[in-house]
A = this chain, B = another copy of it.
């Protein structure tokens, strides 16, 4: 059986995890869960040489030094330096050009958390089986709450170890999300995909011929420098950025999905991170120097200063460099709109 080619996307600013996540060192490059960063954990999940080829990493030039610091260059791996951020469809297309046409790509974000590795591997197996039959496969996540921050996928008829896709659905309102959850027919769109490189480029050429052409020309003029490959900035800048969901998945006739129950979280804000962490018997979590007195469900993370918290519940305190954030768990979702987060 041929090896699977991991494609790791390093985009996104992660302002909702400000002030730890900053423009210069965003979410993927922070050790938010365990000692390895989310980016390193993404590589770790696809590091078994018996199943996976060396990874293809796609990132902006700002983050290349972080990537080279955190990922010892793996034999045969490639770092594709996006000339500018144009969302996921062009990024995946660049990676597809870097691979043989019949290579099976496993596209993974670098800023998600997956608690259950076995379930992830089973999902990969199922997805790859469908991808080998030239399906465009999305990973669906069994929903555990009526989340309004995620896209959803409605399951179609059974297909191999997965399903056909009946419909991709944008972020719903709460009432709709509750309906989705109750029906059992919907899963979260986890942002993980599997397909053949050639099949992806063919679908892109069919549904987004302009984008496909610009990516192709940018790739033709790419400059290689060690493991870095720098596609040409000129045609790339003309691309209208679009997600892979919009550009390909919603349009293809061959959309498929596998459903995985793998303890997935997009760690979309401090509250989500707290949920993914192991708290003590009072529901508290502390990282760094902190004293808690009479607290429940309090999370403290501090890089330097001591934090003392008294008599609070459901509060998150983050100290990073010259910034202190104190938020209710509910308020965590609006952290990205704070002056400190938007002005950095």
Please report A residues at the B interface, Cβ cutoff 8 Å. Answer: 19, 291, 293-294, 302, 304-312, 315, 317, 319, 322-328, 330-332, 334-335, 337-340
Contact = CB atoms under 8 A, between A and B. Distances in A.
A324 B317 contact: yes
Given A294-B331, A311-B327, A312-B331, A322 B306 contact: yes
Copies in the complex: 2
> Of residues A306, A323, A340, which shows the largest number of chain B Cβ atoms within 10 Å of its Cβ?
A306
Contacts of A304: 322
B310 A326 contact: yes
Contact of A309 (B308, B322, B326, B332): B326
Contacts of A294: 331, 334
A337 B293 CA distance: 9
Contacts of A322: 304-306
> Which 4 residue pairs of A and B lie closest in terms of their CB atoms, listed nearest first?
A311-B331, A310-B331, A311-B328, A310-B327
A291 B339 contact: yes
Contacts of A328: 310-312
11 contacts: A293-B338, A294-B331, A294-B334, A306-B323, A308-B323, A308-B324, A308-B325, A310-B331, A311-B328, A319-B324, A326-B326
A95 to B, nearest CB: 37
Given A338-B293, A338-B310, A302 B331 contact: no
A333 to B, nearest CB: 9
A309 to B, nearest CB: 5
> Of residues A302, A308, A325, A335, which shows the largest number of chain B Cβ atoms within 10 Å of its Cβ?
A308
B340 A326 contact: no
